[in-house]
Chains A and B, each alone.
Chain A
Amino acid sequence: MSVTDQEVRHVAKLARLALGEEEIARMVPELNNILGWVEQLSEVDTDGVEPLTAVIANDLRLRDDVVDDGDCRDEVLANAPDAQHGFFAVPKVIE
């Protein structure tokens, strides 16, 4: 499997990365090199093997459905690039 310029542009869009022409030109052969290398996994017979999801057996814990913190708006906003009136501010979304 190998990727084209076009596909790299599409993946960059999905990943929300604005890549310049030069970056794309460099990335196409690099990604192809890496993808070509991982291709060797197709040699491995994985019929009937369950994909591993939890590396160490551990039951998923559920916590009680109660508020256990909160009232920390200023802390949440402390690192915001732009906070106004107690909210995160972003460029206009709706015209």
Chain B
Amino acid sequence: MSELTAKTIAELRDGFRGGEFSAREIAEAFNAAVESGKALNAWTVATPELALEAAAVADSAVVSKTLLPLSGIPLGIKDLFCTAGVESTTGSRILAGFKPTYESTVSGKLKAAGAGMLGKLNMDEFAMGSSNETSAYGPVISPWKRSDGGNAALTPGGSSGGSAAAVAAGMAPGVTGTDTGGSIRQPAAFTGICGIKPTYGRCSRWGIVAFASSLDQAGPMARTVRDCAILLENMAGFDPKDATSLDLPVPQWEASLSSDLKGKRVGIPKEYRIDGVPGEINALWDQGIAWLKDAGATIVEISLPHTKYALPTYYIIAPAEASSNLARYDGVRYGLREMGVKSLDDMYAATRSAGFGTEVKRRIMIGTYVLSAGFYDAYFTKAQKVRALVKRDFARAFEQCDLILTPTAPSAAFGLGEKMSDPLAMYLNDVFAVPASLAGLPAMSVPGGVDGQGLPLGLHIIGRELDEQSVLDAGLAIEERAGFTARAEKWW
């Protein structure tokens, strides 16, 4: 059975179609892995019955030859996606017990493509965090350990930390994540898996609990680049229910995959050489450059002059949008309600204070402050102008190159508790991921190697808007050359 959980989505799909094993066997193997992986705290809810139900449909589809693209594939769904009849908590106490009566467009598309659901994945509360420690349900623990003989519990990254840990630990062959400022890419890098954030608007945000609406975008996380292409094809597409969803056909990313980068120019932004980043990260970056050259690409130095300002811009815009989006949690229509108060206003304030955790309150406070009378122009409008400059930097760079290569994160996975006391130090973890988010561009993390402690490090590829294909192709070129086979040793 455990061999099945070591397979990629493409291998499971093809093996199932070829009659090597049944969908039921696949579902049972992963259900068992979820059950035995509780020590990692990666799941908020397990739904083994839903995985088996979809497997039964897949097994009868084999007989009647009515197979769908993801028939036989069970997936984990980040708890930010509303799933009909299944608790959706977004890692927050304020939504404990919330069972949506509707399905998010993305998870609905995956189901319609035949995928089963193994359960819901733990995450930073409202996706606000880079370490998973802000979850009301406790942090996810990375399956990885440092090789120094110590037993420190490490973060799987955030906010899609449960998603990343589930794939890295063989509890799901693929999962959904969401990325607002790096929340797919940084956890993918920390756990040695692949993850892509597509162009803003590729995937519908309908039914995904909103954090910062102009940035939030769903994407897949899986072991391989090909698996990401398979999942993304089945997640993306126009949705009339989301006004920001792009009315464009979904390309056949998997069928078009090619690691031949002849004729492609890859830009290396000089501003991403940042003081204090460990030498191992820069060395891997140089190695990545060599791999892409080997794949046929030409390397060019580029400049993204406003890189330094991307992070502070993000930490104005994202909290501002969050403070507005999270106004809906008032204890009236769903979620927690604190009683024992006299007035409606008191009920709002008491409910929100009891329901939100420290980081969420901190961001609501920043957001409310920067949007308040007297500060709106100085902070929010200014940040939107700098965001325009960050986007313009990328547009100018893409006149000289087709893709951009950088490291994914400025460190390997850190220990739980190491950065919690300093919000700013935590925010700096997203320094490489945030600029592409501000510009709405497709970007992917692919594992490139391990550091001196045996922990995974990721390489980060940014593409032109709507050019996910080139991003995936470069990812494949790196994957083939990196030969990354390291796995977390099972201790859980």
Residues of A within 8 A of B (CB): 1, 3, 7-8, 11-12, 14-19, 23, 27, 30-31, 33-35, 37-38, 40-44, 46, 49-56, 58, 60-61, 63, 72, 75-76, 78-82, 88, 90-93
**13 additional contacts, CB 8 Å, given A31-B365, A91-B339?**
A3-B369, A15-B352, A40-B309, A41-B309, A41-B313, A44-B386, A46-B382, A50-B388, A51-B381, A55-B215, A58-B246, A81-B335, A93-B344
Could you count the A-B residue pairs with CB atoms below 8 Å apart for me: how many are there? Answer: 164
Asked whether B399 is an interface residue with its Cβ less than 8 Å from the other chain, the reply is no
Please pick, from B244, B313, B330, B342, the residue contacting A16 in the complex, using a CB distance under 8 A.
B330
Chain A contact residues: helix, strand, loop or mixed: loop
Asked whether B353 is an interface residue with its Cβ less than 8 Å from the other chain, the reply is yes
A-B contact pairs, 12 of them (CB 8 A): A11-B369, A19-B353, A31-B366, A41-B309, A41-B383, A44-B386, A44-B389, A51-B388, A61-B240, A79-B99, A90-B332, A93-B344
CB contact list, B279-331 vs A, under 8 A: 306, 308-309, 312-313, 315-316, 323, 327, 330-331
Contact A41/B365 with A56-B246, A88-B332 known, Cβ cut-off 8 Å: no
Asked whether B391 is an interface residue with its Cβ less than 8 Å from the other chain, the reply is yes
Asked whether B384 is an interface residue with its Cβ less than 8 Å from the other chain, the reply is yes
Contact A56/B440 with A18-B350, A51-B384 known, Cβ cut-off 8 Å: yes
Please pick, from B344, B356, B366, B388, the residue contacting A17 in the complex, using a CB distance under 8 A.
B356
Cβ-defined contact, B316 with A38, below 8 A: yes
B156-199 vs A, Cβ < 8 Å mask (1 yes, 0 no): 00000000000000000000000000000000000000000001
Query: How far is B423's CA from A55's CA once the two chains are assembled, in angstroms?
Result: 27
Among B99, B347, B361, B385, max chain A CB count under 10 A is at: B385
Q: Which 7 A-B pairs have the closest CB atoms?
A: A51-B384, A55-B440, A81-B337, A79-B334, A46-B385, A52-B388, A18-B349
Write the chain B residue with the least CB distance to A59.
Answer: B247
CB B236 to nearest CB in A, in angstroms, measures 13
Cβ-defined contact, B379 with A38, below 8 A: yes
Query: How far is B354's CA from A19's CA once the two chains are assembled, in angstroms?
Result: 10
Contact A81/B336 with A38-B379, A44-B386, A49-B385 known, Cβ cut-off 8 Å: yes
Cβ-defined contact, B348 with A38, below 8 A: no
Residues of A within 8 A of B348 (CB): 16
Residues of A within 8 A of B334 (CB): 79-81
Residues of A within 8 A of B336 (CB): 81
Query: How far is B367's CA from A51's CA once the two chains are assembled, in angstroms?
Result: 17
Cβ-defined contact, A15 with B323, below 8 A: yes
Please pick, from A8, A18, A53, A63, the residue contacting B365 in the complex, using a CB distance under 8 A.
A8
Contact A50/B385 with A16-B352, A55-B200 known, Cβ cut-off 8 Å: yes
Query: How far is B391's CA from A46's CA once the two chains are assembled, in angstroms?
Result: 13
Write the chain B residue with the least CB distance to A72.
Answer: B101
Query: How far is B244's CA from A46's CA once the two chains are assembled, in angstroms?
Result: 26
Among A34, A46, A58, A75, max chain B CB count under 10 A is at: A34
Cβ-defined contact, A34 with B315, below 8 A: yes
Cβ-defined contact, B391 with A55, below 8 A: yes
Residues of A within 8 A of B343 (CB): 91-93
Q: Which bucket holds chain B's interface residue count?
A: 35 or more
Residues of B within 8 A of A37 (CB): 312, 315, 424
CB A48 to nearest CB in B, in angstroms, measures 9
CB B118 to nearest CB in A, in angstroms, measures 24
Cβ-defined contact, A40 with B312, below 8 A: yes
Asked whether B243 is an interface residue with its Cβ less than 8 Å from the other chain, the reply is yes
Residues of B within 8 A of A91 (CB): 339, 341-344, 346-347
Residues of B within 8 A of A18 (CB): 346, 349-350, 352-353
Residues of B within 8 A of A14 (CB): 368, 372
Cβ-defined contact, B200 with A63, below 8 A: no
Residues of B within 8 A of A58 (CB): 201, 244, 246
CB B341 to nearest CB in A, in angstroms, measures 7
Residues of A within 8 A of B383 (CB): 38, 41
CB contact list, B356-372 vs A, under 8 A: 356, 361-362, 364-366, 368-369, 372
Query: How far is B386's CA from A42's CA once the two chains are assembled, in angstroms?
Result: 10
Cβ-defined contact, B312 with A82, below 8 A: no
Query: How far is B389's CA from A49's CA once the two chains are assembled, in angstroms?
Result: 8
Cβ-defined contact, A15 with B368, below 8 A: yes
Cβ-defined contact, A41 with B240, below 8 A: no
Residues of B within 8 A of A93 (CB): 343-344
Cβ-defined contact, A30 with B423, below 8 A: yes
Query: How far is B214's CA from A10's CA once the two chains are assembled, in angstroms?
Result: 27
Residues of B within 8 A of A92 (CB): 343-344
Cβ-defined contact, A27 with B385, below 8 A: no
Asked whether B21 is an interface residue with its Cβ less than 8 Å from the other chain, the reply is no
Residues of B within 8 A of A50 (CB): 385, 388
CB contact list, B236-264 vs A, under 8 A: 240, 243-244, 246-247
